[in-house]
């Protein structure tokens, strides 16, 4: 949910609102349009620092400098929507499990079971500088902390059984203490007693989302995630990732249907191919070189590319601790298509490494259908180039074509995010079998 659109230059487009990042009314309009179209969910990415300390590029963007805190924003959107899911990003590097579990459980209650947590780890040095007591984590250490963090959060979300609350005025019992459970977690990174002070929601607990594509990240996804956002530009790559990740679930006692794989898609759609190409070229022309280069540097693992000629090749990049899988995707793209630095940032300015589709509703639906039916995706994370125009184009042109093919709902299946994603209600798993009432006495 980029407020002006997913393209890095979207805010400059004549059909977008330049103040979209700080306009609640525009966010509400976005959410309500997506809900009318019957999208599964709204997804908010997030970071806890300005995107860059390069003021040349920072001063030319809308999304990199300012924006709303995601859970606060989604809480506001929860009261003006009824069915659409609300997923926010929060890092295991810069949070504590209890606070995060409480925040997302509250959003889940406020929205009547529509919340999701996008679990990420963080390595941006600018973010680290905003948390003085945190030092740089190596890739493996970040994921070790994340694994333990997820265990604590899930344990806290199981503090209460679904039917723990009696609310019996006659007896004076508000809850059944046999159905409240103390976590009592002690690990390398965290010691958390519990219980969580928020009850379970109509969907049990928030849906856990991730976007890991490194080996370590894929193992964490297979162990804990219920939805994964990913970036594969070709069908063979998508099929390989899909089969690999689904195949990892069994060793964690999980079924392939327990995880929904949703690649990102950047669609530029019009009624005619030529018109779609013109739309794409128009927004591409708005990319400022400073912004394009900074975006490429960021997606390449934070490597400074400013010393290299824009019309020269991408230099050899050393492996980074930051965004390993996305860095490799960028390198592979540059080498495969023999792209210069300028051509490379122009290529990723919209889709940012994800799958880019430019065409009519029929041609875009053909490609989505192929990837869906041939084992490359369970669904898609739609990234409209501009808002509202690019979102409206997808809703008005592509969705009717998908519905004609029987590939997109006409009504929501249920009232919770789990029901609409086809995920089962999580059974309560008591983190500690000693009744909480006895522990407290």
For the segment 251-261, the average pLDDT, to the nearest whole number, is 97
Do 41 and 181 lie in a common domain?
yes
Contacts of 394 (CB under 8 A, 6+ apart): 267, 269, 382, 384
Question: Does any domain span residue 30?
Answer: yes
Of 388, 427, 375, 393, residue with least CA distance to 2: 388
What pLDDT band is residue 438 in, cutting at 50, 70 and 90? very low
pLDDT at 194: 97
At residue 435 the predicted structure's pLDDT band, cuts being 50, 70 and 90, is very low
Q: Is 213 annotated as a binding residue?
A: yes
Instruction: Give the residue, 136 or 199, on which the prediction is more confident.
Output: 199
Q: Name the pairing type of β-strands 207-210 and 191-192.
A: unpaired
Which pLDDT score is estimated for 441?
A: 32
Binned at pLDDT 50, 70 and 90, residue 52 comes out as: confident
> Which tops the pLDDT comparison, 255 or 348?
255
Q: How many Å apart are CA 3 and CA 44, to the nearest integer? A: 10
Q: How many whole angstroms separate alpha carbon 412 and alpha carbon 157?
A: 26
Output the pLDDT for position 379: 98
- Domain's final residue, options 348, 365, 391: 348
Look at residue 46 and tell me whether its pLDDT is greater than 60.
Answer: yes
Categorize the per-residue pLDDT at 303 as very low, low, confident or very high, splitting at 50, 70 and 90.
confident
Peptide bond into 81 cis (omega under 30): no
**Going by C-beta distance under 8 Å and a sequence separation of 6 or more, which residues neighbour residue 269?**
276, 357, 358, 359, 360, 361, 364, 393, 394, 397, 398
Residue 367 located in a structural domain: no
For residue 151, what is the domain's CATH number? 3.20.20.30
- 141 and 226 co-located in one domain: yes
Of the candidates 333, 349, 227, which has an alpha carbon nearest to the alpha carbon of residue 288?
349
Mean pLDDT of the 76-105 span: 98
**Which residue, 439, 436, 441, is CA-closest to 177?**
436
Which residue bears the tokens 């001063």?
Answer: 59
Phi-psi region of 325 (alpha: psi -120 to 50; beta: other; left: phi over 0): alpha
Average pLDDT over residues 152-175: 97
Do residue 172 and residue 299 come from a single domain?
Answer: no
Distance CA 285, CA 281 (A): 6
Give pLDDT, residue 4. 93
Same domain assignment for residues 217 and 100: yes
Averaged pLDDT, 176-199: 96
Please report which confidence band the pLDDT of residue 55 belongs to, taking 50, 70 and 90 as the band edges.
Answer: confident
Residue 163 burial by CB count (10 A; 0-12/13-18/19+): exposed, middle or buried?
exposed
Can you point out the beta strands (E) in 307-430? 355-359, 381-382
Distances (CA, A) of 133 to 127, 150, 154, 187: 12, 21, 25, 20
Per-residue pLDDT tens over the stretch 210-241: 998 889 999 999 999 999 999 998 999 999 99
Domain boundary among 332, 348, 364: 348
Q: What is the pLDDT of residue 440?
A: 32
Mean pLDDT calculated for residue range 134-154: 87
317 and 430 both lie in a single domain = no
Determine whether the annotation assigns residue 373 to a binding site: no
CB contact at 8 A, 88 and 107: yes
φ/ψ of 310, rounded to 5, equals: -60, -30
222 and 148, same domain (yes or no):
yes
Q: Does residue 107 lie in a domain region?
A: yes
- Shared domain for 192 and 308, answered yes or no, is no
Does residue 430 surpass a pLDDT of 80? no
How big is the chain, counted in residues? 441
Containing domain of residue 335, as a range?
288-348
Question: 42 near 31, Cβ under 8 Å?
Answer: yes
Of 57-71, 128-142, 262-276, 342-356, where does the model show the most confidence?
262-276
Q: Does any domain span residue 1?
A: no
Supply 244's token pair.
């690999």
Q: Which pLDDT band, with edges at 50, 70 and 90, does 433 fall under? A: very low
Do 247 and 317 sit in the same domain of this protein? no
Q: Is 186 a known ligand-binding residue?
A: no
The Cα angle at residue 216 between residues 212 and 219, in degrees rounded to 5? 80
Report if residue 293 sits inside a domain.
yes
pLDDT the model gives residue 345: 86
Per cent of the chain over pLDDT 70 is 95
Residue 63 within a domain = yes
Mean pLDDT of the chain: 91
Q: Does the annotation place 151 within a ligand binding site?
A: no
Distance from C-alpha of 46 to C-alpha of 273, rounded to nearest angstrom: 34
309 and 240 housed in the same domain: no
Domain final residue, candidates 348, 363, 391: 348
Higher pLDDT, residue 109 or 133: 109
412 among the known binding-site residues? no
C-alpha closest to that of 429 among 165, 179, 145: 179
Specify the DSSP element, H or E, that contains 185.
strand 185-186
Between the CA atoms of 123, 124, 130 and 136, what dihedral angle is there, to the nearest 10 degrees? Answer: 40
Let me know: does 435 contact 401? Beta carbons within 8 Å: no
pLDDT at residue number 321: 62
Q: What is the mean pLDDT of residues 290-295?
A: 87
Give the residues across from 158 on adjacent strands: none
Q: Is residue 354 part of a domain?
A: no
Q: What is the pLDDT of residues 387-420, one digit of tens each?
A: 999 999 999 999 999 999 999 999 999 999 999 9
Q: Is the pLDDT of residue 1 over 90?
A: no
User: What's the rounded Cα separation, in Å, for the pair 220 and 146?
Assistant: 8
| Residue 418 neighbours by CB under 8 Å, 6+ apart | 113, 203, 204, 207, 424, 425
Per-residue pLDDT tens over the stretch 333-391: 888 888 898 888 888 878 888 899 999 999 999 999 999 999 999 999 999 999 999 99
Name the least confident of 147-156, 282-291, 342-351. Answer: 342-351
Residue 421 lies inside a defined structural domain of this protein: yes
Same domain, 417 and 322: no
Q: Quick one: pLDDT band at residue 439, thresholds 50, 70, 90?
A: very low
Q: Is 75 annotated as a binding residue?
A: no
Shared domain for 310 and 342, answered yes or no, is: yes
Q: Does residue 294 have a pLDDT over 60?
A: yes
- As for how many domains the chain has, the answer is 2
Is 318 found in the same domain as 260?
A: no
């Amino acid at each position: 949910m980029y407020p002006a659109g997913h393209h890095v230059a979207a805010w400059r487009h004549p059909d977008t609102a330049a103040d979209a990042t700080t306009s609640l009314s525009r966010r509400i309009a976005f959410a309500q349009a997506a809900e009318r179209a019957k999208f599964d969910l709204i997804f908010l990415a997030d970071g806890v620092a300005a995107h860059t300390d390069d003021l040349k590029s920072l001063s030319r963007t809308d999304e990199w400098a300012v924006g709303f805190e995601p859970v606060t924003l989604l809480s506001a959107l929860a009261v003006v929507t009824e069915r659409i899911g609300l997923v926010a990003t929060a890092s295991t590097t810069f949070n504590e499990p209890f606070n995060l579990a409480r925040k997302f459980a509250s959003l889940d209650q406020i929205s009547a079971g529509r919340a999701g947590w996008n679990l990420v780890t963080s390595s941006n040095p600018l973010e680290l500088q905003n948390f003085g007591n945190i030092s740089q984590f190596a890739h493996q250490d970040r994921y070790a902390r994340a694994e333990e963090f997820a265990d604590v959060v899930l344990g806290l979300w199981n503090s209460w059984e679904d039917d723990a609350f009696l609310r019996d005025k006659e007896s004076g019992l508000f809850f059944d203490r046999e159905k409240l459970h103390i976590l009592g977690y002690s690990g390398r990174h965290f010691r958390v007693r519990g219980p969580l002070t928020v009850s379970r929601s109509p969907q049990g607990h928030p849906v856990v989302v991730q976007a890991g594509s490194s080996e370590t990240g894929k193992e964490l996804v297979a162990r804990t995630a219920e939805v994964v956002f990913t970036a594969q530009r070709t069908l063979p790559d998508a099929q390989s990732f899909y089969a690999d990740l689904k195949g990892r679930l069994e060793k964690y006692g999980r079924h392939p249907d327990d995880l929904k794989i949703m690649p990102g898609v950047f669609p530029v759609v019009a009624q005619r191919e030529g018109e779609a190409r013109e739309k794409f070229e128009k927004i591409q022309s708005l990319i400022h070189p400073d912004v394009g280069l900074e975006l490429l540097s960021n997606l390449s693992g934070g490597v400074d590319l400013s010393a290299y000629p824009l019309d020269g090749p991408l230099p050899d990049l050393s492996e980074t601790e930051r965004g390993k899988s996305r860095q490799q995707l960028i390198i592979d793209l540059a080498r495969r298509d023999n792209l210069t630095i300028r051509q490379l940032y122009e290529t990723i300015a919209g889709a940012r490494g994800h799958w880019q589709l430019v065409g009519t509703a029929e041609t875009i639906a053909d490609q989505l259908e192929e990837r869906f039916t041939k084992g490359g995706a369970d669904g898609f994370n739609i990234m409209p180039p501009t808002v509202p125009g690019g979102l409206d184009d997808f809703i008005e042109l592509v969705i009717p074509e998908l519905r004609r093919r029987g590939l997109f709902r006409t009504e929501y299946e249920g009232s919770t995010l789990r029901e609409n994603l086809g995920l089962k209600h999580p059974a309560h798993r008591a983190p500690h079998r000693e009744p909480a009432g006895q522990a407290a006495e």
